[in-house]
Amino acid sequence: MSSNTTVNHHASPGTPPARPPSSENAFGQLIRFWRNTLQLSQAQLAASVEAAPRHISFLETGRSKPTREMVLRLAQALTLGERNLGTLLLAAGFTHDPAPLDLTDAKNRALKDSLSMILAKHEPFPALVINPIGDIVLCNRAWLAMIRSTNSLEQFEQPAANLLDFYFSEAGLRQHIVNWEELACFLLLKIKEQHLLTGDSKLKELSTWLQAYPGLPENWAQRAKGARQVSFYDVYYKTPVNEEIFASRTMITGVEPERNASVGELQLHAFLPLNTATRQQWEGFAETDIPEHPLLYTRPQHF
Q: What is the pLDDT of residues 199-255, one digit of tens each?
A: 788 889 999 999 999 999 999 998 888 766 778 999 999 887 777 889 999 999 988
Query: pLDDT by residue (tens digit) across 102-124?
Result: 777 787 888 899 999 999 999 99
Are 168 and 210 a contacting pair, CB within 8 Å?
A: yes
pLDDT category of residue 24 using cuts at 50, 70 and 90: low
Phi and psi angles of residue 26, each rounded to the nearest 5 degrees, phi first:
-60, -40
Q: Which domain holds residue 283?
A: 106-287
Same domain, 65 and 165: no
Residue 126 forms part of a structural domain: yes
- Residues of the chain above pLDDT 90, percent: 50
Q: Which pTM value belongs to this model?
A: 0.74
pLDDT category of residue 46 using cuts at 50, 70 and 90: very high
User: How far is it, in rounded angstroms, from Cα 119 to Cα 122?
Assistant: 5
Cis peptide upstream of residue 124 (ω within 30 degrees of 0): yes
Pairing of strands 266-273, 242-255: antiparallel
Same domain, 146 and 72: no
Residue 116 forms part of a structural domain: yes
Helix (H, G, I), strand (E, B) or coil at 173: coil
> How many folded domains does the chain comprise?
2
Same domain, 79 and 152: no
pLDDT category of residue 18 using cuts at 50, 70 and 90: very low
* Maximal C-alpha separation, the chain: 90
- Give the pLDDT of residue 11: 43
Residue 201 forms part of a structural domain: yes
User: How far is it, in rounded angstroms, from Cα 275 to Cα 151?
Assistant: 22
Residue 292 forms part of a structural domain: no
pLDDT category of residue 17 using cuts at 50, 70 and 90: very low
Same domain, 111 and 73: no
290 has a pLDDT exceeding 80: no
